[in-house]
Structure 1
């Protein structure tokens, strides 16, 4: 039997029936209301029938004033409990049902973009600042033109006050309570890809001199406090995971990152997903790879392997680059991770596990090769990395296509 068919039990007791989990992707289907739409729900209904061990949703932003993109799903205000918010719970329960009606455990990825909120995304207004641990603007390049374009796309952030920190903590807790009351199996905090939690963890974006800055422990305090606060208000069986960056932490801060993982474990996380990249360095969309990395498939396996050595009891999910059953099996057999996260292939074939887990299907057939999304010649004139945005849009379009019953396509076809 392929090791991918083995179940994985989280510390909270939740069981994934196999090791293949649909990784989080931007669906861009929430509409102008920033809430699940019928097409949105149908996409998850299709994934729910796909044989996945679990589903991770795309970003659900904890504050509708601060969105990553204009079409993100989001919380619209405070949540004071099921009895006082029946309509709200009913709406999100439809989402949970769409994901789980076929028995697939589903985890909601909760996020705050911090300084990575587009100027046109969110209801704070196009001239209002974003928020961040420190008032360090996002820079998509070093030239004057790139700096100007960065300012036009992403408003400069203001440093968060203690009141801001307490408010965002409540927002993560409220969102977690709502997801638990709506019937989801857990939440994953997005602490990667340059979003707000990652901004606090990372010394490049966190220059604070108070209790939330400086040492590795201080930079992790915001995230650790959120985890403790969530654990107090959700059932013991409700999973709490976190997505953590590997690729944008330098060798100088590697030990700090290991220290922070230890703190996250002590706070009570049920799993850790290893990913990487940010808007400034979009490694999660696929780094430039050597022949060895291509053959291995997993983009961030070295980091995951080292984390496994340091924390053998930590349930690890590794996402980014898996395209074949053989590559996924190799990562499991190396003991680099417990769970395989698959993103873009799942946007083209929402039922991919039915192929990977069927041992009657040969290894040669159990794969999905994806080329880069081509960049139109006129966009190459823009002095910014537009490739990552095109990749995101392309696969969001494929999600919409299969949700509408249309054929999906791999890039270039």
Structure 2
């Protein structure tokens, strides 16, 4: 098993990675009420490093006080106290040869905890809020962002990245996926703007390009700045682009021009083949990778090692993100390489709440703890 492509060393971002595995970002709503990372979160993230993952991407971290927060008990990187709270996390992770990236996130119209939401346009989101993340009922109609709102939002991402650097993170992932604010700018059904942030793909992508450029101008050159994208949305699992592959190619060109250090191509339902391919058998990940030459992270059920081998060998991706099975067993890499039984994922680990303490409780109740 140790010879499987996913477990081979890689040199990416001028860094020697111990393998090609990445912990996917997963919201755990376990910070303090004022957005501080906790000792419980330190244990959670360091377990992935001890367990052999090469790269760890945190849960979404909110970036400003004007509407970016998506959940109650979501961690933040807005002020000095929040920044300082992450130092223990990064120092503990770095006792192992793993990298850790902070995912920077603005909930936009999909905030679970804010009724005064912001969005590119005043379009009511479909679906309802998520009970396991503290949400209840329908989403409100958001306020259409004016240019001052957009400038404050962009600065929040830039300041969040600077705080991530000061906290000891190796990089950041800009959350432009899954229906949250930056994805709302990208989505024509949600972005009806008539200014330079609406209309063409170039205009809809503009805010992301400006955030990437602003971060890169504010942090050292070796600080890694990536971007997460997707078609599917947390409130609309079946959403796909109307013109599919053409939209993917247009998006790839904008990504190429903005030059992030990686692109994380996410799927919403956890099934790569179902959510990431177009009719002619070409994946979104491969389109991005071929058009940009930028390292690509793919996710979507890749604990299935046959699927992971195809993604790597057929040039769909450079790195593979693992989500729910890593949540269930943070030692997935080491255990898989050595054929040691794994703690299996169970739906109840994230239901009716997605907190770290609830997951531990379910593992104990189901007698799934490692011997």
TM (normalized to structure 1)? 0.76
Q: 1:366 to 1:332 in 2, by over 3 A?
A: farther
**Alpha-carbon displacement from aligned partner over 1:165-193 (angstroms, at most 9, x marks no partner):** 10001000000001011110000011111
What SS does the aligned partner of 2:86 have?
helix
Return the alpha-carbon distance in structure 1 between the equivalents of residues 320 and 367 of structure 2.
21
| Corresponding position: 1:322 with 2:302 | yes
Return the alpha-carbon distance in structure 2 between the equivalents of residues 245 and 194 of structure 1.
8
**RMSD over aligned Cα atoms:** 2.9
Indicate the residue corresponding to 1:220 in structure 2. 205
Structure 1: gaps spanning 5 or more residues: 78-84, 142-149, 277-283, 288-292, 374-389
Indicate the residue corresponding to 1:99 in structure 2. 93
How far the C-alpha of 1:403 sits from its partner, in A, is 6.7
**Alpha-carbon displacement from aligned partner over 1:319-353 (angstroms, at most 9, x marks no partner):** 12223333322321222111110000011101000
How far the C-alpha of 1:6 sits from its partner, in A, is 2.4
Indicate the residue corresponding to 1:160 in structure 2. 145
Could you tell me whether the CA contact under 8 Å between 2:177 and 2:230 is conserved in 1? yes
How far the C-alpha of 1:100 sits from its partner, in A, is 2.3
| Corresponding position: 1:310 with 2:291 | yes
| Corresponding position: 1:16 with 2:10 | no
Q: How does 1:4-403 map to 2 (within 5 A)?
A: 4-11=6-13, 13-64=14-65, 65-77=67-79, 85=80, 87-118=81-112, 121-122=113-114, 126=115, 129-140=116-127, 152-247=137-232, 248-252=239-243, 254-276=245-267, 284-286=268-270, 299-300=275-276, 302-311=283-292, 313-358=293-338, 361=339, 370=345, 373=347, 392-393=350-351, 396-397=354-355, 399-400=356-357
What SS does the aligned partner of 1:273 have?
strand
What SS does the aligned partner of 1:243 have?
strand
Return the alpha-carbon distance in structure 2 between the equivalents of residues 59 and 184 of structure 1.
14
Could you tell me whether the CA contact under 8 Å between 2:31 and 2:38 is conserved in 1? yes
Return the alpha-carbon distance in structure 2 between the equivalents of residues 353 and 225 of structure 1.
36
How far the C-alpha of 1:268 sits from its partner, in A, is 2.1
What SS does the aligned partner of 2:60 have?
strand
Structure 2: gaps spanning 5 or more residues: 129-134, 233-238, 278-282
How far the C-alpha of 1:367 sits from its partner, in A, is 7.6
Q: 1:395 to 1:185 in 2, by over 3 A?
A: farther
How far the C-alpha of 1:209 sits from its partner, in A, is 0.5
How far the C-alpha of 1:253 sits from its partner, in A, is 5.2
Pairs aligned (count): 348
How far the C-alpha of 1:40 sits from its partner, in A, is 1.3
Return the alpha-carbon distance in structure 2 between the equivalents of residues 201 and 410 of structure 1.
44
Could you tell me whether the CA contact under 8 Å between 1:274 and 1:316 is conserved in 2? yes
How far the C-alpha of 1:230 sits from its partner, in A, is 0.3
How far the C-alpha of 1:404 sits from its partner, in A, is 8.5
